[in-house]
Amino acid sequence: MTEQYVHGYSPEEANRLMKQADVLKPYLEGKMHFSAGSKVLEAGCGVGAQSVILAKLNPGCEFTCVDISSSSLARAKQLANEREMANVKYVEADIHDLPFHKNVFDYCFFCFVLEHFKEPEKMLQQVSKVIKPEGSIRAIECDLGAAEFSPFTPDIKAIVDGAISLSTQSEGNACMGRLLEETMKKAKLRDVKAKKIAIDTRDTTNGIHALMVLKEIVIPVYKGMKNNMISKCLIESLQYDNGIKQLESIVENHNKYFIDAIYIAEGKPYKP
């Protein structure tokens, strides 16, 4: 992971991550359960938005949540204290150099983390060292390039392309979702299984949740990238502003739609 997280560490970004965790809960809750008594490593926990959800869903598990950012961890600890989560602790560390003995954890959980690494396969192999042989590594990812918008205007496309290019320049991959299963297999994880969860505003059951994904996650992600995209000449200011207005109109207009997906994969750790 690069030293400069592509989304930054501003209070606005921290708030976005908190909203993201709440909005995605209906889609992810079923994928966040672990066997009672398990020791779980959350790698790249950020501000702890997912950590408190994990801890609440799994009161019988012990969570160790790791991040490289001291400021993010400070907010994570505060959040855990406010919600009285006694089964979670935080450790400041680089995922490439974890300060744990081998075969300590039963599970490792990643949520929107692998997309920020230049070589996620190597990182997965490093994490495998601290996971028990019959444990598992579970990862959740998005894919900016897979989203569909109606209408998919040239201005919206320019924003999407600019965000993907910015991620690439930061040595990440904003299209990791479609590569998640392949990435785990390249890392030599065993028994890899993958699934894609659809997000569609036209869905009569979960359409309102999909609309919230667009309003509270997707659009804020692009807004947070504005200055960097413009300064790096990935998009012009006027086109960016027009594209954001067009995205916001999808939220307000029921004749328009938004389709996206969340990618989930799980495999047993690599053991040479």
pLDDT in tens, 146-202: 999 999 999 999 999 999 999 999 999 999 999 999 999 999 999 999 999 999 999
CA torsion sign for 79, 84, 85, 87 is positive
> 16 falls in which pLDDT band (50, 70, 90)?
confident
CA distance 43 to 251: 33
Q: Check whether 252 has a pLDDT greater than 60.
A: yes
Separation between Cα atoms, residue 98 and residue 116, nearest integer Å: 17
> Domains in the chain, start-ordered, CATH in brackets?
11-268 (3.40.50.150)
Does an H or E element contain 230, and which? helix 226-231
Output the pTM of the full model.
0.92
pLDDT tens per residue across span 34-64 = 999 999 999 999 999 999 999 999 999 999 9
User: 84's torsion region: left (phi>0), alpha (psi -120 to 50) or beta?
Assistant: left
